[in-house]
């Protein structure tokens, strides 16, 4: 008797989400498996509800984007926005940002990193938790390719001072203006601050080749 084998044939699955779950968190990501088209890569750290990234990626289809967020609920919001918009140049990863940049991104694999309104940890004893600290420029520099750039935004004056001090004294970066056409794309937190009259501070640092 011959048994039917149709149940053994893998059925091609249609993707239902842009969330990527790495098979191995100790290996460098194989970027070619994340996106259908190989293109320059940009990363947004702490993408929150994905308002910025979904809109920015839709306007820049010639670039691939990874949104990194440690809270799953927020990552799902980015996923929903980008997936519904039919974007194939967005990938969402739930992971801690410094670890991701230091250990999972191929060296020199990224051409821009966006970090908007990272948690300010205002209490002095919590400053150690801030993402952007003295070591951060070195971590981000190794992920960036030649002339790669980091874009920063915050509402928090004290954290902004820390950001510009860390990047300002790094020999790996030089300061640059944030382009106006990038500023137009607001984040979710930024909209809230802007509505309440709280100004956004911007900075950009380009890697010295």
Q: Which of 3, 21, 56, 19 is closest to 186 using CA atoms?
A: 56
Question: Smaller CB distance to ligand SAM: residue 89 or 187?
Answer: 187
Q: How far apart are CA 40 and CA 63, in angstroms?
A: 5
Residue with tokens 């039917």, as numbered in its chain: 4
Name the minimum Å distance from CB 108 to ligand SAM: 21
Question: Smaller CB distance to ligand SAM: residue 21 or 37?
Answer: 21
Residue with tokens 């194989």, as numbered in its chain: 30
Question: Smaller CB distance to ligand SAM: residue 119 or 161?
Answer: 119
Interacting residues of 176 by C-beta distance below 8 A, sequence separation 6+: 149, 204, 205, 206
Q: Is 119 in the site for ligand SAM (CB under 6 A)?
A: yes
Identify the residue among 55, 178, 188, 202 touching ligand SAM (CB under 6 A).
188
Q: How far apart are CA 50 and CA 20, in angstroms?
A: 15
> Could you say which residues in the range 66-95 bind ligand SAM, by CB under 6 A?
68-71, 74
Name the minimum Å distance from CB 120 to ligand SAM: 8
Name the minimum Å distance from CB 115 to ligand SAM: 8
Interacting residues of 96 by C-beta distance below 8 A, sequence separation 6+: 70
From 49, 119, 181, 195, the catalytic residue: 119
Active site residue 119: yes
Which whole-number Å values give the CA distances from 55 to 107, 126, 190, 193, in the listed order? 27, 32, 14, 19
Name the minimum Å distance from CB 95 to ligand SAM: 7
CB neighbours of residue 121 within 10 Å: 16
> Could you say which residues in the range 32-71 bind ligand SAM, by CB under 6 A?
46-48, 68-71
> Could you say which residues in the range 126-185 bind ligand SAM, by CB under 6 A?
131
Q: Which of 85, 52, 87, 86 is closest to 68 using CA atoms?
A: 52
In the complex, the residues that contact ligand SAM under the rule CB under 6 A are 46-48, 68-71, 74, 96-97, 116-119, 131, 187-190
The set of catalytic residues is 119
């Amino acid at each position: 008797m011959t048994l039917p084998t149709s149940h053994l044939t893998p059925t091609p699955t249609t993707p239902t989400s842009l969330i990527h779950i790495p098979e191995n968190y100790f290996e460098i990501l194989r970027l070619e498996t994340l996106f259908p088209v190989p293109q320059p890569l940009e990363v947004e750290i702490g993408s929150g509800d994905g308002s910025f990234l979904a809109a920015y990626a839709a306007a820049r289809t010639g670039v691939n984007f990874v949104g990194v967020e440690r809270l799953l609920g927020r990552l799902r919001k980015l996923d929903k926005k980008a997936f519904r918009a039919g974007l194939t140049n967005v990938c969402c990863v739930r992971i801690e940002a410094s670890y991701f940049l230091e250990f999972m991104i191929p060296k020199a694999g990224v051409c821009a990193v966006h970090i908007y309104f990272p948690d300010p940890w205002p209490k002095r004893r919590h400053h150690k938790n801030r993402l952007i600290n003295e070591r951060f420029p070195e971590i981000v520099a190794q992920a960036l390719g030649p002339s790669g750039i980091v874009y920063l935004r915050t509402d928090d004056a004290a954290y902004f001072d820390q950001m510009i001090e860390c990047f300002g004294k790094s020999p790996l970066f030089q300061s640059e203006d944030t382009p106006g056409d990038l500023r137009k794309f607001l984040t979710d937190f930024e909209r809230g601050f802007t509505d309440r009259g709280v100004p956004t501070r911007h900075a950009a640092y380009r890697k010295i080749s």
